[in-house]
């Protein structure tokens, strides 16, 4: 096992499902017991300062991974909920004009649902056809008609593994004054991300996959340059500039992204996620990326001849989404199952994810399975 692999509890067999749930860091249960349960057990309500400290640390760790300030990061229930909160916070257009939200048809469906759920607030979903490549800049440009207010870009697509060119697509958006929202759910923790390079308006993600933080700890980064224009609607006392003012007739938005926070915060998912993000930060996303690509290269050297569509590893995330003809796909699936491999299938492809706790030996074993097809 790669030495960094010993930092995680990896299920028996070959675990290639990090695009779904990243493995539990060995430290998590101890730290959660110490920082979340022990203060509750020993101090009851006086645990709050320590609990809030966990969330501060969570935002700080994420900020270090993304080269961003923790003030610009706010916990969210999920990626789709974060998108919904952001859209509702945008200033309304005069005369109740429609506001179109553009995304590629292979974006995660939940984000499309979030937009459709806001139809009565004037939001309308527009999709770039799934047969057009997600990085086709001409297609993005052509779809950015005057009604488009927001573009949602998926950094790494969950069913194809394709990586979007955020900088180039964002440039087109900025030229048309279209707000840029980036979904990093499938890239945070495995693809190095520098938010200063992107200068997006909003970045949404969660910790359940490559950040190894467990479910329930999603997050939102808001570009501080545009924060003052945003007036979240789903607010509570933790969205207030001073949560402890307690004057029901006076509400002022918090200065930073925390204006999106809401009422009494959820803590437990962030205690778990903080350890995951910290572990990933200590190992280094660049190291994880290099390791993942090395393993993917080993698999591809044997898989390539069977693929319906070749994969460019420079333009993909941590998951090999291998599209094969149906009869080959079934045979491959059987062999993977017999070899105790954790994997899943989407449409005509099999998804195999390579994280820091996976090994060259595992990659070679999968390559041998391809050779035997
Ligand atoms: C690209 C992408 N975005 C978002 C999500 C999850 O969104 P949510 O947190 O709203 O469930 C996933 C989950 O698989 C995903 O792959």
Model confidence over 238-279: pLDDT tens digits?
A: 999 999 999 999 999 999 999 999 999 999 999 999 999 999
Q: What is the pLDDT of residue 226?
A: 87
What share of the chain has pLDDT > 90, as a percent?
94
Q: Is the CB of 72 under 6 A from ligand 1?
A: no
Q: What is the pLDDT of residue 291?
A: 98
pLDDT band for position 347 (cuts 50, 70, 90): confident
Q: Hey, which of 107, 110, 152 would you mutate to test ligand 1's pocket, going by the most ligand atoms within 8 Å of its Cβ? A: 110
Beta-sheet strand order (sheet of 179-183): 73-76, 218-222, 202-206, 179-183, 148-154, 99-104, 123-128
Give domain 31-282's CATH number out of 2.30.42.10, 3.40.50.1970, 3.40.50.11240, 3.40.640.10. 3.40.640.10
How many CB atoms within 10 Å of residue 337?
Answer: 12
Structure tokens given for 224: 């501080």
> From the CA of 44, how far away is ligand 1's center (Å)?
34
Calpha distance 90→103 (Å, rounded)? 18
Q: For residue 87, how far is the Cα from the chain centroid? A: 18
pLDDT surpasses 90 at 308? no
Q: What is the pLDDT of residue 310?
A: 87
> From the CA of 108, how far away is ligand 1's center (Å)?
6
Beta-strand ranges (E) seen in 246-368 are 319-323, 341-342, 344-346, 349-353
pLDDT surpasses 90 at 3? no
For residue 15, give the 3-state DSSP assignment.
strand
Q: What is the dihedral of CA 123, 124, 129, 133, to 10 degrees?
A: -20
pLDDT digits (tens, 9 = 90+) for 76-127: 999 999 999 999 999 988 767 889 999 999 999 999 999 999 999 999 999 9
Nearest-atom number in ligand 1 for the CA of 80 is 10
160: exposed, middle or buried (Cβ count in 10 Å: 0-12, 13-18, 19+): buried
C-alpha angle 82/83/84, rounded to 5°?
90
Q: For residue 285, how far is the Cα from the chain centroid? A: 14
Give domain 3-24+284-371's CATH number out of 3.90.1150.10, 3.30.230.10, 3.40.50.1820, 2.30.30.40. 3.90.1150.10
What is the DSSP code (8-state) at residue 306? Answer: G
Which H/E stretch holds residue 123? strand 123-128
Tell me the average pLDDT across 172-181: 96
Calpha distance 153→26 (Å, rounded)? 33
Nearest-atom number in ligand 1 for the CA of 156 is 1
Could you state, in order of their start, the residue ranges of all structural domains in the chain? 3-24+284-371, 31-282
pLDDT band for position 130 (cuts 50, 70, 90): very high
> From the CA of 315, how far away is ligand 1's center (Å)?
20
pLDDT surpasses 90 at 1? no
pLDDT surpasses 50 at 294? yes
pLDDT surpasses 90 at 4? no
Q: Is the CB of 316 under 6 A from ligand 1?
A: no
- Per CATH, 3-24+284-371 and 31-282 having the same topology is answered no
pLDDT surpasses 50 at 311? yes
Tell me the average pLDDT across 122-148: 97
Give the distance between the most distant pair of CA atoms in the chain: 71
Q: What is the mean pLDDT of the chain?
A: 96
Handedness of CA 141, 143, 148, 149 (dihedral sign): negative
Instruction: Give the strand pairing for 24-25 and 202-206.
Output: unpaired
């Amino acid at each position: 096992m790669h030495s960094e692999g010993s930092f995680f509890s990896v299920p028996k067999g070959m675990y290639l499902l990090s695009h779904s749930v990243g493995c539990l860091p060995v430290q998590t249960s101890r730290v959660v017991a110490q920082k979340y349960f022990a203060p509750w057990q020993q101090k009851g309500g006086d645990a709050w300062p320590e609990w809030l400290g966990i969330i501060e640390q969570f935002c700080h760790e994420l900020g270090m991974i993304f080269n961003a300030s923790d003030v610009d990061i706010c916990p969210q229930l999920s990626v789709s909920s974060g998108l919904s909160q952001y859209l509702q916070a945008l200033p309304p257009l005069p005369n109740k004009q429609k506001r179109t939200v553009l995304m590629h048809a292979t974006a995660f469906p939940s984000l499309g649902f979030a937009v459709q759920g806001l139809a009565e607030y004037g939001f309308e979903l527009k999709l770039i056809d799934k047969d057009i490549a997600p990085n086709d800049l001409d297609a993005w440009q052509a779809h950015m008609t005057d009604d488009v207010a927001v573009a949602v870009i998926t950094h790494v697509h969950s069913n194809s593994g394709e990586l979007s060119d955020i900088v180039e697509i964002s440039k087109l958006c900025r030229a048309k004054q279209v707000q840029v929202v980036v979904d990093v759910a499938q890239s945070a923790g495995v693809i190095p991300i520098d938010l200063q390079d992107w200068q997006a308006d909003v970045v949404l993600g969660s910790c359940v996959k490559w950040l190894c933080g467990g479910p329930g700890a999603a997050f939102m980064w808001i570009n501080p340059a545009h924060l003052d224009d945003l007036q979240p609607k789903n607010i509570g006392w933790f969205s207030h500039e001073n949560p402890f003012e307690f004057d029901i007739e006076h509400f002022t938005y918090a200065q930073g992204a925390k204006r999106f926070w809401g009422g009494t915060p959820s803590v437990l998912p962030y205690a778990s996620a903080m350890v995951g993000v910290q572990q990933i930060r200590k190992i280094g996303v660049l190291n994880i990326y290099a390791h993942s690509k090395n393993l993917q290269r080993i698999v591809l050297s044997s898989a390539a001849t069977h693929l319906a569509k070749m994969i460019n590893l420079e333009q993909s995330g941590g998951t090999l989404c291998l599209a094969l003809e149906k009869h080959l796909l079934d045979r491959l699936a059987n062999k993977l199952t017999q070899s105790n491999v954790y994997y899943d299938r989407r449409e005509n492809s099999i998804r195999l994810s390579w994280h820091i706790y996976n090994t060259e030996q595992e990659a070679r074993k999968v390559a041998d399975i391809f050779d035997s097809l």
